[in-house]
Chain A
Amino acid sequence: MKENVIIDLKNITKSFDGDLILDNINLYIRDKEFITLLGPSGCGKTTTLRIIAGFLEPDGGDVVFAGKVINKVPAHKRQVNTIFQRYALFPHLDVYENIAFGLRVMKKNEKQIKQKVEEMLALVNLRGFERRNIESLSGGQQQRVAIARALAVDPKVLLLDEPLGALDLKLRKDMQVELKSIQKRMGITFIYVTHDQEEALSMSDTIVVMDGGKIQQIGTPTDVYNEPKNAFVADFIGESNIVDGIMKKDRVVEFSGHVFDCLDGGFNENEAVDVVVRPEDVEVVAVGNGMLTGTVTSVTFKGVHYEIIVDIGGFLWMIQSTDVQNVGDRIGLKIDPDAIHIMKKSEYSGMFGDFSSYSEEFDELSDVNAGIDTEGEENE
């Protein structure tokens, strides 16, 4: 199971001014893996990254790199490099000298430096930018220089702290693809920190979902999406209808006043559980043909589908459907056994209610804030 491990975090704890930021983090990272630390701001993801980089020392626990404990090894001696949130390029140096910085510090000769810088510029598609001033570059170009600068010193692991936060949506999508392809080509480990679940899902080999200084779930993107461990993960990644249910017996669950077949088992008889149903897994059918019946309270056109909010016995469900419905219509809902995911009750149970308070606008506002955050002070 634990083969090819390059970084192993063992029982890491860290507090700032009495606030516990990391609460017993255990995580191993395989060589050449693209791993993402995902969570809301303040969850401890950036702190974890800074501990790996060597900018912070953990209060407790060990950071193991390639089999050796490196708690006391300073940042400049670690084979780990960082892409900073706002790139942290040296404004007094041009593109060439920024990329050459690490090589000069290592006292490489001029020929080696030139060769490496050219190679890096080619890698990030910035040939011909050697003598350009940093401030004359666009955000995306600065991002590329930061990547080239970090990769020029041949790190074993690259740490990326919300690297795409300051870019606009289109550029962000392009850079996602490019980062992934750079990681494949270089064959090194990427540890990526983001609060953007979509980014995490589309780029990662492994996602580590964090909240409140704890790891909530570690898994592949499909794992964390399809098999969320608790209500927090289900809510944070994608849209979810999370309802209270009772596990009647293995593979039979009751919720919203109906008994469903499902695929999960291993719970006690009549154990209270959280049930997750993804909006896209609910089928709209005629009243009577479905298991549940509800009233449509709102319909929003989203391009690919309609987002329909349905009132089922006072609980608002979100459903994504390609067929339009009318507000006020009574509709039936069909939920297949494989669309139902059962989770044990957790500290997060009941914290994520129905979609009555849900507002798309709010989501977008918080996204915008996240973008501004990275322009201003460092978050967390």
Chain B
Amino acid sequence: MSKSSSVSIGNQKTNLVPFSAWMVVFVLVPIALVVWFAFTGVDGFTFSNLKWIYVYKSTLWLSVKLAFIATVISLVLAYPIAYSMSRASEKVQRNATLFIMLPMWMNFLVRTYAWMTILEDTGLINSVLKAIFGADFQSLSLINNHGSVVLGMVYNYLPYMILPIYTALTKIDGSLLEAARDLGARGHQVLARVILPMSVPGIISGITMVFIPSISTFIISKILGGGKDYLVGDLIEDYFLGNSGVVNYNIGAALSLVIMILILIATFLMNHFDKDAKTNGGGVI
């Protein structure tokens, strides 16, 4: 392994200014504000905002649960896709990557609304079924439930699971697979003992990149959950924008803080799990 030597142009300290400025303005200050609001109220410093975490514990739990389910489904779908991509010819790989990225060129909201028009009672699926079975066909309720929210999450975030796993898989040297076969490993043993463990860094990036946006989403639950599946993201939005009549930055900030901490814990656990695996692959787009 060669260490990449960095050629520094100019003063090392001044080179860092743009980065530092960005970090301060767009990361540190916002986080500080969230913490500030979370621990203040009309009477100044207080822990009282944290009681809302308890009040909304079922919403928080539902958010975690749906994000978790979406992540697991994405992983199960993404791995075979990424694997077959990594084995394909270079041309197929390029095209497949393009097709996976293609939906992401469209606006997230548009994509999600598209699902609404497909799934709703008067939507595409039900219209087709009605056309087939006659006008008295009882519409299937495909939308405004947990399933449709999870579907929205999986649909929107699946590429973020596929691509890092794919990257990790393509980085596995073909001679390692030959070595495994040479030592007597059958196909499934090569998969279990070499390919799978060596793609762990990609799996971890993928999980992180699906779980985090899923747990904090408010658009998907709003459009495909129909307000029934109120997630923590929706709560936070409401408290900041006052959609439900109350504007309260403090409660919103406290709930945001909970999500941040949940994500930190998840990331920490992931990195701990990844400790043994060498950091190969897991390229983030």
Residue B5 interfacial (CB < 8 Å): no
Q: List chain A residues, Cβ under 8 A from B186.
A: 76, 105
A153 in contact with B178 (CB, 8 Å): no
Q: List chain A residues, Cβ under 8 A from B193.
A: 101, 104-105
| Minimum C-beta distance from A84 to chain B (A) | 5
Question: Given A88-B175, A92-B197, A105-B189, are A53 and B278 neighbors across the interface (CB < 8 Å)?
Answer: no
| Minimum C-beta distance from A155 to chain B (A) | 9
Q: List chain B residues, Cβ under 8 A from A81.
A: 182-183
Contact partner, A76, options B1, B173, B182, B280, Cβ 8 Å = B182
A49–B168 Cα distance when bound, in Å, is 29
A209–B186 Cα distance when bound, in Å, is 34
A55 in contact with B185 (CB, 8 Å): no
Residue B90 interfacial (CB < 8 Å): no
Contact partner, B184, options A84, A89, A91, A106, Cβ 8 Å = A106
Q: List chain A residues, Cβ under 8 A from B178.
A: 53, 55, 75, 82, 84, 88
Could you tell me how many residues of chain B have their Cβ less than 8 Å away from some Cβ of chain A?
Answer: 23
Residue of chain A at shortest CB distance from B186: A76
Contact partner, B176, options A54, A82, A88, A102, Cβ 8 Å = A88
Q: Which of B179-210 contact A (CB under 8 A)?
A: 179-186, 189, 193-194, 197-198, 200
A74 in contact with B180 (CB, 8 Å): no
B198 in contact with A75 (CB, 8 Å): no
| Minimum C-beta distance from B136 to chain A (A) | 60
B197 in contact with A88 (CB, 8 Å): no
| Minimum C-beta distance from B196 to chain A (A) | 10
Residue B43 interfacial (CB < 8 Å): no
Q: List chain A residues, Cβ under 8 A from B197.
A: 92
Q: Which of A262-281 contact B (CB under 8 A)?
A: none
Contact partner, A86, options B175, B180, B200, B280, Cβ 8 Å = B175
Residue A110 interfacial (CB < 8 Å): no
B194 in contact with A76 (CB, 8 Å): no
A101 in contact with B1 (CB, 8 Å): no
| Minimum C-beta distance from B272 to chain A (A) | 16
Residue of chain B at shortest CB distance from A375: B2
If over half of B's interface residues share one DSSP class (helix, strand or loop), that class is named, otherwise mixed; here it is helix
Contact partner, B278, options A74, A76, A105, A135, Cβ 8 Å = A135
Q: List chain A residues, Cβ under 8 A from B200.
A: 92
Q: Per-residue 0/1 for B149-187: is the Cβ within 8 Å of any A Cβ (1 yes, 0 no)?
A: 000000000000000000000000101101111111110
Most chain A Cβ neighbours within 10 Å, of B176, B181, B183, B194:
B183
Residue of chain A at shortest CB distance from B182: A82
Residue of chain B at shortest CB distance from A74: B181
Q: Which of A27-70 contact B (CB under 8 A)?
A: 53-55
A12–B96 Cα distance when bound, in Å, is 38
Residue of chain A at shortest CB distance from B179: A88
Residue of chain B at shortest CB distance from A55: B178
Residue A90 interfacial (CB < 8 Å): yes
A82–B178 Cα distance when bound, in Å, is 9
Q: Per-residue 0/1 for A235-279: is the Cβ within 8 Å of any B Cβ (1 yes, 0 no)?
A: 000000000000000000000000000000000000000000000
Question: Given A90-B194, A91-B198, A92-B277, are A105 and B183 neighbors across the interface (CB < 8 Å)?
Answer: yes
Question: Given A92-B277, A105-B189, are A84 and B181 neighbors across the interface (CB < 8 Å)?
Answer: no
Contact partner, B185, options A54, A88, A105, Cβ 8 Å = A105
A106–B181 Cα distance when bound, in Å, is 12
B184 in contact with A153 (CB, 8 Å): yes
| Minimum C-beta distance from B253 to chain A (A) | 42
B277 in contact with A90 (CB, 8 Å): no
Contact partner, A105, options B173, B184, B276, B280, Cβ 8 Å = B184
Q: Per-residue 0/1 for B217-250: is the Cβ within 8 Å of any A Cβ (1 yes, 0 no)?
A: 0000000000000000000000000000000000
A92 in contact with B183 (CB, 8 Å): no
Q: List chain A residues, Cβ under 8 A from B276.
A: 92
| Minimum C-beta distance from A180 to chain B (A) | 22
Q: List chain B residues, Cβ under 8 A from A104.
A: 193
B179 in contact with A76 (CB, 8 Å): no
A181–B193 Cα distance when bound, in Å, is 32
Residue A116 interfacial (CB < 8 Å): no
| Minimum C-beta distance from B15 to chain A (A) | 30
Q: Which of B260-280 contact A (CB under 8 A)?
A: 276-278, 280
Q: List chain B residues, Cβ under 8 A from A82.
A: 178-179, 182
Residue A195 interfacial (CB < 8 Å): no
7 A-B residue contacts at CB 8 Å?
A54-B182, A88-B175, A88-B176, A89-B179, A92-B194, A102-B183, A105-B193
10 more A-B contacts (CB under 8 A) besides A53-B182, A88-B173? A55-B178, A76-B181, A76-B184, A77-B184, A81-B183, A86-B173, A86-B175, A88-B175, A92-B277, A135-B278
The interface of chain B, by Cβ under 8 A from chain A, is: 1, 173, 175-176, 178-186, 189, 193-194, 197-198, 200, 276-278, 280
